[in-house]
Amino acid sequence: MKLSADQVKALRALSRGRSRPELKKLFAAVRAHDDKTLLAAIAPAKKRAAKRKGDPLVRELEQTLKPILGPAAEKADMLVEHIAKKHRRKLGIAPKGLADAAKQLRGKFSDEQIRAGAKSLVADLAKLYGDRETVV
């Protein structure tokens, strides 16, 4: 049985940087195991799901503002407006999402003030729109 040019090329690439005894051990291992085992050994490692390491304040804001139905950018705008109104200040912040809002608000307020603002926003909206009696 003669080796093809591709097989010779693959063997040369495999043998680069290895001594003759190392190659003999490798060939013996290839002979001893079936294809399935060998392919499993050279398969790339499976990617693990990335752990969510985000900012704890952002995660807490997401949980607090969950009752508000809408995109995160809208929730962020509402939070910034609410905190500005509560503290009677013009903030001039235009966040793209909750993470961006938390990042920009941190420059002007503490984490506790931001958390309290989110909770009071949900409470105010519940007071305005919750438990409404309608006449039909």
DSSP 122: H
Q: Is 125 exposed, middle or buried (0-12, 13-18, 19+ CB in 10 A)?
A: middle
Q: Are residues 10 and 66 in the same domain?
A: no
98 falls within a domain: yes
Q: What percent of the chain has pLDDT over 70?
A: 93
Q: What is the mean pLDDT of residues 52-62?
A: 87
**pLDDT at residue 134 is higher than 70:** no
Taking only the tens place, the pLDDT of each residue in 60-104 is: 999 999 988 899 999 999 999 999 999 888 888 888 999 999 999
71 falls within a domain: yes
**pLDDT at residue 116 is higher than 60:** yes
Q: Are residues 98 and 65 in the same domain?
A: yes
Q: Is 115 exposed, middle or buried (0-12, 13-18, 19+ CB in 10 A)?
A: middle
Domain that holds residue 28: 5-42
Q: How many domains does the chain have?
A: 2
27 falls within a domain: yes
Q: What is the mean pLDDT of residues 106-134?
A: 88
Q: Are residues 64 and 103 in the same domain?
A: yes
Q: Are residues 30 and 66 in the same domain?
A: no
Res 84: pLDDT: 93
